[in-house]
A = this chain, B = another copy of it.
Amino acid sequence: MNAPAAPLKAKDFASDQEVRWCPGCGDYAILKGVQKTLADIGTPPENVVFISGIGCSSRFPYYMSTYGFHTIHGRAPAFATGVKLANPELDVWLVTGDGDGLSIGGNHLLHALRRNVNMQIMLFNNEIYGLTKGQYSPTSKIGTRSPSTPMGSLDRPLSPVLFALGANASFVARAVDTQQKHMPGVLQRAHAHQGASFVEIYTNCIVYNDGAFSSFAEKGTAAEGELLLEHGEPMIFGKDSDKGIRMKPGALELEVVQLGVDGIGEDDLLLHDETNRVLAGLLGAMQNPDFPVAVGVLYCEAAEAYESAVYQQVDAARAANGNADFNALLRSGSTWTVGD
């Protein structure tokens, strides 16, 4: 008889490989958060597969005690899709970076999202290419000086969550490396969702882009710099919970308001509605310093996972055609006999 398995702990998901990120890299915290999430979820490690592209962030699978595939630059969503098509039962987690996922890999990310392949996609956004030593990335702010842009970068950055919404993603969320309490909840939601769950995770590259998110991702700045989203709850933030977000009257825009000033109360604030894609777009576009940065689940829409639809067709074909018989297949259509 099976003894009841001991509940899994975060360290059950740590592999024996030495973690080789730079000391102080934000990716360490994400690793911890993910290991905790998996323990909380309780999936047996053998059913979990981590798939990544190339980049500092994409070293992630080596540090997990699960199955893992460190593939090639930008293509992880394609590999992950293949894994799910081969075996929809596997619990697939994808790790990518802002370069891996949005520069070379933008197209695969786009298509994994729109197809709604059931997996968790974590995009570690440090707004820089870490592994190749600090070139700017598609999420770097205009004017970023880097080895390839000594006079400052010129391209308009992408917002990963707005990109995902434009890609028709069914689940879009945000988390922050330093917020260990918050992250596992978001990741659990991502895991629970049927389909491609996109989670942008801000992470600090201490070597090439230190402090990129300091205006909201640090202990001292989080309360004022960040808006924690909860479905159905009013959008309140600030150290003293004294600020809120509402629709600017008469306009299709958000605005920050001070609670208690000009007679504004909680009732005037927007309630978060995860199911409204337009609201998600408005929230995703909020940036410091004018707005708090929205974290949590921005958007979540019930939808069918791609691979389950695929297997419904396989099952239907089986039901319609009976068991696969090769001899019958080869003899289908016109045949003729040549006598002895």
Contacts and interface: CB of A to CB of B under 8 A. Distances in A.
* Copies of this protein in the complex: 2
A157 interface: yes
Contacts of A104: 107
A162 interface: yes
Contact of A278 (B152, B159, B167, B278): B278
A154 interface: yes
Contacts of A278: 252-253, 278, 281-282
A102 to B, nearest CB: 8
26 contacts: A105-B107, A106-B106, A106-B107, A106-B111, A107-B110, A111-B155, A114-B138, A114-B156, A114-B157, A114-B158, A116-B155, A152-B313, A154-B306, A154-B310, A154-B313, A156-B303, A157-B168, A163-B167, A165-B166, A166-B167, A252-B276, A252-B282, A253-B276, A277-B281, A277-B285, A281-B281
A303 to B, nearest CB: 7
B276 A313 contact: no
Interface of A: 103-107, 110-111, 114-116, 138, 151-152, 154-159, 162-168, 170, 247, 252-253, 273, 276-279, 281-282, 285, 303, 306, 309-310, 313, 316-317
